[in-house]
Structures are given as structure tokens and as C-alpha cells.
Amino acid sequence: MAVLVVSAAAVLLLAPGAQGAQALSESDNPLVSVLEAGLGAGWLSTTVNYIGLLGLIASFFSIIYAYSRQTFALSRAGYLPRVLSRTNGRKAPTLALVIPAALGFVLAAFGNGDILINLAVFGATLSYVLMMVAHQVLRARNPELPRPYRTPGGRITTGIALLLALAAVVATFLVDVVAALCALVALALLMAWFGFYSRHHLVAAAPDEEFAALAKAEEELE
């Protein structure tokens, strides 16, 4: 964690200081651009560029695993169409792997890269807001709930993180209104799907729903 914090702070402060924020805003590879501006195009900038590329390629595997399992779990519980939770002979969720990948390929091939990145940033920052709100609500309603992990600083930390996440959400509208509005429309459509259809067809035997039912039963007993 300390390495990540120091590295992120160094890039945030030193990169604009070396080349200027305006120049970096137009660069597709800011870190390499700064190295080339300060030291010239040489072995160091090339090495950093290839290391970043290898890291990006390595992350693809975790992304593929994560989106397929998430799609599979949501489909199995009834939040998404059931066909997405079908598995092959080796119990791999084939459609949950292929359909999101095909959608991502089409968007990457024919879509605007900047808009796609801003869409992802909007979704990420919104998820941060929801996580911070969930933590605050959980601590307020169930303060005695056993917690194997305690957030350093407690509700103060998540309160600060919530304010920063809200600022980041607002910033996405300032950077690209079209991307933010597209993300809002997609979110509204998914919420409508849940409100009008999927919540009436949830699978009670799905693990997530079983856990929720057990938690509700325990609360009623108390």
C-alpha cells in the first residue's frame, strides 16, 4: 500500500511539474512523455513503456475472470437473463465469457476511446460513492456486527472518501458531459430492468439470495 501511495503521489506531482498539465492532458502515455521530455527518448522511457504494456496485458486475465464470474453470478441469481449463467461441459460460463467480450471488442473497435475511458471512470467513481455510503449505513444500523476487518479511521475515513468520490463524479461531467450522460442512461436502463422485471424473478436458491434470507431471518429472531 505504501509503495502504491508513494508512486501515485510522485506521478501526480512530478509529471505535471516536468512537462505541464496542458501538455500531459493531450498525451496518450503521460509517464513516458514526461521521461522523454526530461531525459530524451532513450532506454529508460522505452523500458518503462514496455513494463507498462506488460502490466496492462497481465491485467487482461483478471479482467476476463472478473467480468465473466460477475455476469454469471448476477444471471444465476436472476438479475440478468438466465441464459448468461449456462455452462459448458467443463462448467465454464461460456456465454458470460463471450458476450461481454464481444461487446467490449465492438466498442473498442468502433467507439471513441476517450468516451469509453470516461464511461469506465464514471462507473468506478459511482461505485466508490455507493461503497462509502454502504459503510456509513452499515455502521449506523448495525454497529455491533462482527467485523473481521476494521477500516482505519472508521466512519471518518469513509466520510472523507465519500466527499472525494462525489467530487470525482462531478468532475466526470466537467471532463465529458456526453460520456457521463451515457453512463447515467445505461444505469437508468439497468435499474428499470431490475425494477420492472428481474426483482420479480430472483432465484431464491442462489447463494447471494440465500445469504440475504438467512440474514433477514436472524434479524427477525433477534
This prediction has a pTM of: 0.69
pLDDT tens digits, one per residue of 9-33: 877 777 666 666 676 666 667 777 7
Q: How confident is the model at residue 218 (pLDDT cuts 50, 70, 90)?
A: low
pLDDT tens digits, one per residue of 68-103: 988 998 888 888 888 888 888 888 889 999 999 998
Spatial distance between the Cα atoms of 220 and 212, rounded to a whole number of angstroms = 12
125: left (phi over 0), alpha (psi -120 to 50) or beta: alpha
pLDDT at 7: 79
Q: Which residues contact 210 (CB under 8 A, 6 or more apart)?
A: 204
Sign of CA dihedral 164, 170, 176, 181: positive
pLDDT tens digits, one per residue of 166-187: 999 999 888 888 888 888 898 8
Q: How confident is the model at residue 163 (pLDDT cuts 50, 70, 90)?
A: very high
What single-letter DSSP state applies at residue 80? S
pLDDT at 207: 60
Closest CA to 165 of 120, 116, 136, 131: 131
Average pLDDT over residues 211-217: 63
